[in-house]
Amino acid sequence: GQQVMQIPQYQHVQEGEDFTTYCNSSTTLSNIQWYKQRPGGHPVFLIQLVKSGEVKKQKRLTFQFGEAKKNSSLHITATQTTDVGTYFCAGPRTGANNLFFGTGTRLTVIP
């Protein structure tokens, strides 16, 4: 069945260090979305990528969609304690019209 894996599952970084999470799909995706869930909170939409090779930036966050549209990455430059949370990627479910979520990467930032 369809799988969307994220690595790493957990990441601890010192404040100021960079962080990257990778999302790998077993199928080609028409688009990919990224969500952030703060501790004790609910997932909140960050961004959507649609085009092959697309790169988008939001301040210190850089999102990339792979050329084959089967993988994506989220890179955070100079992490801050406000970046703490779990980051999920999500893509359209094969043969259905809803989202299939990745396993998530939980980021801890040590002050």
Partner 1 sequence: DVKVTQSSRYLVKRTGEKVFLECVQDMDHENMFWYRQDPGLGLRLIYFSYDVKMKEKGDIPEGYSVSREKKERFSLILESASTNQTSMYLCASSLSQTGRTEAFFGQGTRLTVV
Q: Which residues bind partner 1 (CB under 8 A)?
A: 4, 6, 9, 30-31, 33, 35, 41-45, 48, 50, 88, 90-93, 96-104
C-beta closer to partner 1: residue 4 or 76: 4
- Least separation in angstroms between CB 17 and partner 1: 24
Closest contact distance (angstroms) between CB of 53 and partner 1 is: 18
- What is the rounded distance in angstroms from the CA atom of residue 21 to the CA atom of residue 35? 12
Please identify, using beta-carbon distances, which residue of 1 and 111 lies nearer to partner 1.
1
Kind plus residue range of the DSSP H or E element containing 102: none
Measured CA to CA, the distance from residue 20 to residue 76 in angstroms comes to 6
The CB-side HSE value for 56 (13 A sphere, CA atoms) comes to: 14
Tell me how far, at minimum, the Cβ of 97 lies from partner 1, in Å. 4
Query: Position of tokens 């100021």?
Result: 16
Give yes or no for a contact between 101 and 45, defined as CB atoms under 8 angstroms apart: no
> Nearest approach, Cβ of 74 to partner 1 (angstroms)?
15
**Which CB atom, from 6 or from 73, has the smaller least distance to partner 1?**
6
